[in-house]
Amino acid sequence: MDPELSRWKDHLRGKGLLPAGLMAAMLAGSSARGWHDARSDFDVYLVTERPWSSESARAFTVPLEHSAVATESFYAGPRRWELSYWLDAQVGELIEKVSWQAFRGDLMAGDVLTAREETFLSRLGSVLVLEGEDWVRQRQSELHASAFRSFLVARSLGFADGCVEDALGQLESGSAEGATLAARQAFHHAVDALLEAKGEYGSAVQKWLPYRFKAAQPLHISFAEYWAVETMQSYDPADPVRWINEVLTLCQDISMKIEV
């Protein structure tokens, strides 16, 4: 094991935060991907068969058979650590929620998963394993085989469509400003769909979009092209309609390339 990961694991053990019967422990989020900065939290997911409890533990609820996910948090120096204790059964339920049968039942991602559930699944593919390599690889494989990717792609494309309609409606009513903002949102959603199609999830946190883009390396649009639109480099306040139409056309081009 990487010495730093081993050190982190020992640190958690030293604080009495690794439960007996631990099935897996994973560093997740930006710190797992090397995207973190000096102010970033360290997020750790732990998986057990039995619920975690302690005097310091708190919990959030999830719409699962066992409805609580215990959490612990502490500061190590300036860094905040956030630990979430998921049950193995809960993870199984999450993956079942995004089955192909569920997808074909015409459900939207937002109707199937809560934000925290989606975040957990979104991060599962890019964790750094502290414990339980076999468990993690098995669940990653199950997630990959599920319809999770398709759920997210379909949702992002749907959001993009809605923003395109907003932009066109704003143009028709004479509001170039409103149309500009709607076109920007449409573009973000279209790019999210493009990245999700390549297994790069995490659309809820926009600051990671450039990182996700570079990680995904999509074929249909270069980073330079994406960044030019993101920073509105060709936007002319005297002729905003041109930029708006170009961006909406680009959103359409992206939609044509992505398999849902």
Partner 1 sequence: MATPPPLPPDAVPARRLDTRIRRMDGQLILAFGETALALSESGALLYEHMDGRRTVGMLAAMLAKTYGLAEQDALADTGEFVDSLVENSLAEVRDSPT
Residue 179 is a binding residue for partner 1 (CB under 8 A): no
Determine the residue type at 233: Q
Kindly give the pairing relationship between strand 42-48 and strand 79-87: parallel
Separation between Cα atoms, residue 249 and residue 141, nearest integer Å = 36
Choose between 130 and 154: whose C-beta lies nearer to partner 1.
154
In the complex, minimum distance from the CB of residue 89 to partner 1, in angstroms, rounded to a whole number: 33
Among 128, 164, 191, 195, binds partner 1 (CB under 8 A): 164
For partner 1, the closer of residues 32 and 248 by Cβ is 248
Q: Are 35 and 213 in contact (CB under 8 A)?
A: no
Q: Examine residue 108 and tell whether it contacts partner 1 (CB under 8 A).
A: no
Least distance between partner 1 and beta carbon 255 (Å): 4
CA angle 218, 246, 215 (to 5 degrees): 15
Kindly give, in sequence order, each residue whose CB lies less than 8 Å from that of residue 153, ignoring residues fewer than 6 positions away: 193, 196, 197, 258, 260
Task: Provide, rounded to whole angstroms, the least separation between the CB of residue 112 and partner 1.
Answer: 19
Residues 6+ apart with CB under 8 A from 76: 11
Least CB distance to partner 1 at residue 202 (A)? 23
Site membership for partner 1, residue 157 (CB under 8 A):
yes
Instruction: Report the DSSP beta bridge partners of residue 71.
Output: 58, 84
The conformational region for residue 118 under phi > 0 = left, psi -120 to 50 = alpha, else beta, is alpha
Give the tokens for residue 227.
């960044």
The closest of 71, 9, 213 to 203, measured between CA atoms, is 213
Q: Is residue 185 involved in binding partner 1 (CB under 8 A)?
A: no
By CB under 8 A, tell whether 104 contacts partner 1.
no
Q: How far is the CB of 186 from partner 1 (least distance, A)?
A: 10
Q: Centre a 10 Å sphere on the Cβ of residue 66 and count the other Cβ atoms it contains.
A: 12
Specify the residue, 27 or 154, whose C-beta has the smaller distance to partner 1: 154
Using the rule CB under 8 A, is 165 a contact of partner 1?
A: yes
CA distance 121 to 142: 11
Q: Is 107 in the site for partner 1 (CB under 8 A)?
A: no
Closest CA to 140 of 126, 160, 154: 126
Task: Answer yes or no whether residue 250 interacts with partner 1 by CB under 8 A.
Answer: no
4 vs 236, beta carbon nearer partner 1: 236
Task: Give the nearest distance from C-beta 118 to partner 1 in angstroms.
Answer: 21
From candidates 5, 95, 168, 216, binder to partner 1 by CB under 8 A: 168
Chosen residue from 161, 175, 199, 215 binding partner 1 by CB under 8 A: 161
- Is 257 near partner 1 (CB under 8 A)? yes
Question: Given the rule CB under 8 A, which residues bind partner 1?
Answer: 154, 157, 161, 164-165, 168, 245, 248-249, 252, 255-260
